[in-house]
Amino acid sequence: SSRVVEIQSQMSERAVELLGLPEDRPCLLLDVGCGSGLSGDYISDEGHYWIGMDISPAMLDVAVEREVEGDLLLADVGHGIPFRPGMFDGCISISAVQWLCNADKKSHSPPKRLYRFFSTLYTALAQGSRAVLQLYPENSEQLELITTQAMRAGFTGGMVVDYPNSAKAKKFFLCLFVGASGTLPKGLGTECADGEETHHAKFTNERTRFRNAKGKSVKKSRDWILEKKERRRRQGKEVRADTKYTGRKRRPRF
């Protein structure tokens, strides 16, 4: 449904934001559990490149049909990340990693599969980069298991929780650092303007405010469209010339 797509897109946006990528160059990202490539669309829009892994042939077929810009790989991440060392500038994952906690086959050991995933991911990421994994943990034991295996594999970092006081908007992002540890970003909706912690959920327009605080143009505005076209040109893509009509709203009669 469109609501699911919208939430998925918001989480992709937030995950990429938490990666803290350099603004001045395109990066190569790994999308774990990429599904039909919704996160990938956002990564491409931001001017970066990506490779997506997913265990579902059906989902990847949809991604191919949608003509996503990233490369796709059918694989079970519980068997490890099969890329050369230091290849990626970052990794995101939306709603996928918790599945590694399930033993679908007799031979499956969740701790081993998680460790295999994290240790090979650690190797595939460049020094100083990050992995941001949004997940839906079933309980605190699962969170503990996932975090422990990530730390065993060499990552530092921890859990960033957005809107911790809201049942609906609460989101978990496991934010992992390779090499020199950064400071863990603050979760959204955890502080008031005066720096006091809030104890009730406050999440009206928080997203848009957060975007604009970073000095980025409001999505779909004329500036945003011009910036996006400029990025596409830098990538050597064919883009229509800018005119006074660029980014103008059509009249309702269309």
**Average pLDDT, stretch 104-111?**
79
Nearest to 50 by CA among 70, 68, 80: 70
Coil vs helix vs strand at 133: strand
2-203 topology per CATH = Rossmann fold (3.40.50)
Q: Is the pLDDT of residue 124 over 90?
A: yes
| Helix residue ranges per DSSP H, the chain | 2-19, 38-45, 57-65, 110-124, 140-152, 206-213, 222-234
pLDDT of residue 232: 77
pLDDT of residue 206: 37
Rounded alpha-carbon distances, angstroms, from residue 179 to 25, 29, 51, 87, 176: 21, 17, 22, 15, 10
pLDDT of residue 3: 86
pLDDT of residue 189: 87
Q: Is the pLDDT higher at 232 or at 7?
A: 7
Q: Where is average pLDDT lowest: 6-10, 57-61, 93-97?
A: 6-10
Q: Is the pLDDT higher at 70 or at 4?
A: 70
Q: Hey, where are the domains in the chain?
A: 2-203, 219-253
Neighbours of 52 (CB within 10 A): 25
Q: How far apart are CA 99 and CA 56, in angstroms?
A: 13
Question: Would you place residue 137 in the very low, low, confident or very high pLDDT band (cuts 50, 70, 90)?
Answer: confident
- Cα angle for residues 27, 30, 36 (degrees, 5° grid): 115
**Average pLDDT, stretch 96-119?**
88
Q: Is the pLDDT higher at 188 or at 213?
A: 188
Nearest to 53 by CA among 25, 80, 72: 72
pLDDT of residue 191: 66
Is the Cβ–Cβ distance between 125 and 86 less than 8 Å? yes
Tokens of 212: 């604009």
Query: pTM value?
Result: 0.74
pLDDT of residue 193: 47
**Average pLDDT, stretch 222-239?**
78
**Average pLDDT, stretch 101-112?**
81
Residues 6+ apart with CB under 8 A from 68: 36, 37, 40, 41, 44, 52
pLDDT of residue 197: 46
Burial class (CB in 10 A: 0-12, 13-18, 19+), 28: middle
